[in-house]
Amino acid sequence: MPAEPRLLAGARLAVTTFTTLPVRAGRIDRPVAGTAMALAPLVGALLGALLAGVLLVAGALAPPLVAAGVTVGVGALLTRGLHLDGLADTVDALGSYRRGTAALEIMKKPDVGPFGVVALVVVLLVQAAALADLAGRSWPAALAAVVAATAAGRFGVTVACRRGVPAARPDGLGALVAGTVGPVALAAGAVAVVLLAVPAVPGRPWQGPLAVVAAIAVALPLLTHVVRRLGGITGDVLGATVEVVTTLVYLGLVLSG
């Protein structure tokens, strides 16, 4: 039986990694993993379109904050809550002030510490508040905003998996995807996400792209710090990156001035 083409296998792996959509995983190796991480923003955009639909429908039936809360909940459901779990574990490890193996052991514990709880509360509150604001915008703007923020969060994973970034462990998702994304895929992903954000803020076509660029600019030194503390990236770090970048983009989209 011939091997599955890398692009198709990478698309399948991207969907199964970032969503709960009923797609069966196929061939898995580092070249396929690199393709999957390069396609992460596309999967994010598709997920964002689903969430925007939830926000718009719920917003027509309930107050904006309720619609936003439902949308955040559906987003967690469609991703198995893995990104939120990764955020809590990563923040707990960083909050311990430990390094290397000791910090990684904290990340593997099933419980959530106080730092992780605070991080989850802040991220979910900011996302819900931002979505409540977006629910009051025209449907094209709301759609563009949710799609851009969700795609940007997954582009953060593409950035985290760029060449030169090591894995913190010899096994697990981090070991499979670390260092697999080349500069062409990075550039293509950046351009795509920036363009998606152009219609997100009516009358301010620059604000959406600026929000994306600013979010990535903040995430980069955070990733550098995490890699220095842990020795590389892990699956939890990738999940944390998704939530941090997504939240920062939402914040940038609702700022006024």
Strands (E), 29-113: none
* pLDDT tens track for 167-200: 998 888 889 999 999 999 999 999 999 999 999 9
Within 10 A of 71 (CB to CB), how many other CB atoms are there? Answer: 27
Rounded Cα distance between 198 and 39, Å, is 20
Rounded Cα distance between 77 and 84, Å, is 11
- Whether the CB-CB separation of 33 and 58 falls below 8 Å is answered with no
Residue 3 has a pLDDT of: 61
Task: List C-alpha distances in Å: 233 to 107, 117, 170.
Answer: 12, 21, 11
* pLDDT tens track for 87-96: 999 999 988 8
Q: What is the mean pLDDT of residues 215-234?
A: 94
Say how many CA atoms lie within 13 Å of 63 toward its Cβ. Answer: 4
* Residue of 70, 127, 129 whose CA lies nearest to 248: 127
Residue 223 has a pLDDT of: 95
Say how many CA atoms lie within 13 Å of 20 toward its Cβ. Answer: 10
* pLDDT tens track for 123-139: 999 999 999 999 999 99
* pLDDT tens track for 191-224: 999 999 999 999 999 999 999 999 999 999 999 9
Rounded Cα distance between 18 and 20, Å, is 7
Residue 66 has a pLDDT of: 97
- Whether the CB-CB separation of 227 and 217 falls below 8 Å is answered with no
- Is pLDDT at 257 greater than 80 in this prediction? no
Residue 1 has a pLDDT of: 43
Residue 65 has a pLDDT of: 95
- Is pLDDT at 109 greater than 90 in this prediction? no
User: What are 162's two structure tokens?
Assistant: 């760029």
Tokens 């030169």 correspond to 164
Which three-class secondary structure string do you get for 107-144? HHCCCCCHHHHHHHHHHHHHHHHHHHHHCCCCHHHHHH
The proportion of the chain whose per-residue pLDDT surpasses 90, expressed as a percent, equals 75
User: What are 249's two structure tokens?
Assistant: 């983009």
Residue 179 has a pLDDT of: 92
